[in-house]
Structure 1
Amino acid sequence: MNYTTDYEPHAEAIANLFTATFTASEGPEEGALIGDLARRLIAETPAEDIRVVTAWEDGALLGGIFFTRLSYEGDPRTVFMMAPVAVATEHQGKRIGQRLIAYGLDELRKEGVDIAVTYGDPAFYGRVGFMPVSEANLPAPQPLGQPQGWIAQSLTEEPLTPLLGPSRCVAAFDDPALW
């Protein structure tokens, strides 16, 4: 398996992966929503605020992850949110997602990113180091429909300590329907 952070030439394949994966797991409405989110993230997010990591094998796109900047008004630390994450349905259950996440987090560490946050299943993401956090300690940019899914990890030797908000996400994520 090969990983790349070169996403622009593969923009449509990446968006199609997210549409198909979320359609299969959550239904056509969610698939369309997340596919559109992927397209908007790629097209509208400034390069300094986005990282995309994809996994390929024999020319086939197996999975992808978006990391986008979260800004905290009163905090100098660099924070990126990991979302959405997708592995092609026919390749799920092979630890591709976990390896892809580990690779992506390592890339962020190399850049000096302090904290990674995600909004998802604590049981799954706990396997790759994410732990539950409260909105009081790590303010979300939108009200959370499922606060138990707000999880984070420090990417440095420093422990995860409260971030001083309010927070701001990239424009494509600034939609209450996604939270």
Structure 2
Amino acid sequence: MAQKILDKSCWKEIVNLFTSVFTASEGEEEGKLIGDLVSRLSARIDNQEIIGVGSFDGEVLIGAIFFTCLDVDEPVSVYMLSPVAINTGHQGKGVGQALIGDGLDELRNRGVSVVVTYGDPAFYSRSGFQPLSTSTIPAPLELSMPEGWLGQSLTGEPVPAIGHRPVCVEEFNNPDYW
């Protein structure tokens, strides 16, 4: 398997992957919701504000992850990891952890200070994410499950406190995702 930075040319494969994975695990409604989100993110991949990283088995996309810039109006660079999907036939084989690790390395090489995510603490803790208080870095929107707000420093320093609510990319500015 090989990881690479995604571009807009993979749009259809990316959307199909996320829609099928989330439909299988969470149901048709969630599959459509995440598929629509990923369609909008994929259309705007610019390798700066919106970064996609994919895992390929030969020419077949088997996993993908997005990192989006959070505007924190501070001298630190913060990105959000979300969403991530691994083809159901490849789950449980370390593909997701490798993809997250490679994505974090890419961000570290770009000088990003902090990465946050909103998801399953048991899954993301395997990649170094720890519970993050919303008093340290508030979520862009109100969280329905605050225990899923996680973060990690990529610099070796503690996660710095951000005194105000960061602004997410437009695609995530929907309470249904939070």
Q: Calculate the TM-score normalised by the size of structure 2.
A: 0.96
Contact kept, 8 Å, 1:44 with 1:172, in 2: the verdict is no
Q: How many residues align?
A: 178
Aligned to 2:14: 14
* Contact 1:45/1:172 (<8 A) preserved: no
Q: Tell me which residue corresponds to 2:5.
A: 5
Question: Residue in 2 aligned with 1:130?
Answer: 129
The residue aligned with 1:82 is 81
Q: 1: CA distance between counterparts of 2:156 and 2:167?
A: 25
Structure 2 residue identity aligned to 1:149: G
Aligned partners of 2:145 and 2:75: how far apart in 1? 27
Greater than 4 Å deviation, 4+ residue runs = none
Structure 1: how far apart are the matches of 2:174 and 2:23? 20
Contact persistence 1:78–1:114 (CA under 8 A) = yes
Counterpart in 2 of 1:33? 33
Mapped partners of 1:99, 1:154: distance in 2: 18
CA shift digits 1:24-58 (9 cap, x unpaired): 00000000000110011122465531110000012
Distance 2:26 2:86 in 1: 14
Letter in 2 for 1:27: G
Deviations 1:139-174 (A, max 9, x none): 111000000000000001211121222210000000
Question: 2:152 and 2:134 mapped to 1: Cα distance?
Answer: 14
Q: Does 1:57 align with 2:57?
A: yes
One-letter code aligned to 1:170: V
How far does residue 79 in structure 1 lie from its aligned partner after superposition? 0.4
Give the gaps of 5 or more residues in structure 2.
Answer: none
In structure 1, the gaps of 5 or more residues are none
Aligned amino acid, residue 55 of structure 1: S
Q: Tell me how far apart the structure 1 counterparts of residues 72 and 57 of structure 2 sit (CA, whole Å).
A: 37
Letter in 1 for 2:86: V
Instruction: Check the 8 A contact 2:14/2:42 in 1, yes or no.
Output: no
Q: Does residue 69 in structure 1 map to residue 66 in structure 2?
A: no
Question: CA RMSD of the aligned region, Å?
Answer: 1.1
**What is the aligned-residue identity percentage?**
49
1:129 to partner: Cα distance: 0.2
Letter of the 1:92 counterpart: Q
Corresponding residue for residue 115 of structure 1: 114
Give TM-score scaled by structure 1 length: 0.96
Q: Distance in 1 between matches of 2:6 and 2:46?
A: 15
Separation (CA, whole Å) in 2 of partners of 1:81 and 1:88: 22
**Structure-1 separation of matches of 2:106 and 2:64:** 14
Q: Secondary structure at the match of 1:168?
A: coil
